Structure 1
Amino acid sequence: MDLVRQLGENVRRIRKERGISQEELALDAGMKRSYVSDLERGTRNPTVRALGRLAAALKVPPAILISNPSE
């Protein structure tokens, strides 16, 4: 699977598991909600900085966001 798409799926899954909205995640990560939405859909390439900020906001190691949970 494409890494950008995998990241988006992981962000969405973890966000929903935590019961937070895209807007709440964006606020916690210092991003715009539309950027989070684009990432979750796999239509935007994240920067390393964005990956770190998302991981911190979701309280997971950055590697979790790009891993394939089925492996």
Structure 2
Amino acid sequence: MKNRLKVLRAERDWSQAVLAEKLDVSRQTINAIETGKYDPSLPLAFKFAALFGLTIEDIFEPEP
């Protein structure tokens, strides 16, 4: 799944560790999601959306 997490995180000058702490997950989880190795659960996707003030669809998009 494609995502805009790295860009959104960079716009706020947050490290992966800072974002992980805000979402109560590990830095490794953030890295895996950003690199497309792991798709977040629906509850975690909602947490990302709430944190960034966007819809889930604004952050994540399925691969064609």
TM-score tier by shorter-chain length is 0.7 to 0.9
Question: What is the alpha-carbon distance in structure 1 between the residues aligned to residue 16 and residue 40 of structure 2?
Answer: 16
Q: Do structure 1's residue 27 and structure 2's residue 16 form an aligned pair?
A: no
Distance 1:62 1:42 in 2: 16
Instruction: Compute the displacement of 1:30 (Å).
Output: 1.1
Q: Which amino acid aligns with 2:5?
A: V
Instruction: Provide, for residues 11-56 of structure 1, a one-character-per-residue CA deviation record: whole Å limited to 9, x for no partner.
Output: 1110001110100001101111100000000000211111111222
| Larger strand fraction of residues | 2
Structure 2 unpaired stretches of 5+: none
| Aligned residue type for 1:20 | W
- 1:37 and 2:61 correspond: no
Percent identity reads 21
TM-score (norm 2): 0.82
> 4+ residue runs of structure 1 moved beyond 3 angstroms?
none
| Higher helix proportion (structure 1 or 2) | 1
CA RMSD of aligned residues (A): 1.3
**Aligned residue identity for 1:16:** A
